[in-house]
Amino acid sequence: MRIVFLGPPGAGKGTQAEIISKEKKLPHISSGNLLREAVETKSETGRKARDYIEKGLLVPDEIVVDIIKDRILRDDCKSGFILDGFPRTLSQAKVLDEMLKKLGNRLDLVFYFAVSEESVVLRLTGRRICSSCGANYHEKFVPSEKEGICDKCGGTLYQRADDKLETVQERIRVYHEQTEDLIEYYKKSGILKEVVSDVNIEIITKNISDSIESALKKKDLISDGVV
């Protein structure tokens, strides 16, 4: 199964991608994580991407596309993947389609995470991350027992630079301007499923999981020649 998680920042794509990735044994590919790793290791790509990320702007297509192409070509992606945060522009979507076509594949499903702007701002500005193990917390919704300290490993919690209110507002603006058009693009290709993500995590996971299962069954019937 080749799956894309699409939606505004803070819609819960990353959280769901982690859970579904384990459940369905599909690699979780987060363009944001790959870019942040590149920034941390101070690679050439990371140096180029850093300013854009900190300002809440999109990193230029050619940088992101190369990172994603390399990742998708790895062996563990042969039977599928979950892309989280990519594509974010129409041209990225077209490059992805072309690339999969060359490999004799195509996207099976795109989940669009529909969420109110209010929730996005609350979720992102309250998010805290452990500097040692990467665990996610939220000041109000998932607080650590001791303020600023990770329950799992005792590491220090920090706020991502781009989760500060001003940058969050910029990221939302960029989403409306450059990413939202993808909803229509994938609707037209008939693979878009909307996930209401203002409800609790377990309900969202079940909705996604059920849709994947029924798409898998359909795929099997087609390859068996039944349909």
**Structural element, H or E, at residue 115:** none
First to last CA, the chain: 18
Q: Is 31 in the site for ligand AMP (CB under 6 A)?
A: yes
Q: Is 123 one of the catalytic residues?
A: no
Give the amino acid at 104: G
Q: Is 106 one of the catalytic residues?
A: no
What are the φ and ψ backbone dihedral angles of 58, each rounded to 5 degrees?
Answer: -75, 140
Q: How far is the CB of 217 from ligand AMP (least distance, A)?
A: 30
Q: CB neighbours of 12 closer than 8 A, spacing ≥ 6?
A: 113, 115, 123, 197, 201, 204
The residue among 26 and 29 lying less far from ligand AMP, judged by its C-beta, is 29
Please state, in angstroms and as integers, the Cα–Cα distance from residue 143 to each residue in 112, 149, 157, 178, following that order.
27, 10, 11, 33
Q: How far is the CB of 125 from ligand AMP (least distance, A)?
A: 13
Catalytic residue among 2, 88, 123, 128: 88
Q: How far is the CB of 79 from ligand AMP (least distance, A)?
A: 23
Sign of the CA dihedral with 93 first, then 99, 102, and 105 last:
negative
Catalytic residue among 2, 13, 50, 128: 13
Site residues for ligand AMP, 45-74, by CB under 6 A, read 52-53, 56-59, 64
- Pick from 4, 11, 29, 35 the residue near ligand AMP by CB under 6 A: 35
Q: How far is the CB of 150 from ligand AMP (least distance, A)?
A: 20
Contact footprint for ligand AMP (CB under 6 A):
9, 31-32, 35, 52-53, 56-59, 64, 85-88, 92, 162, 171
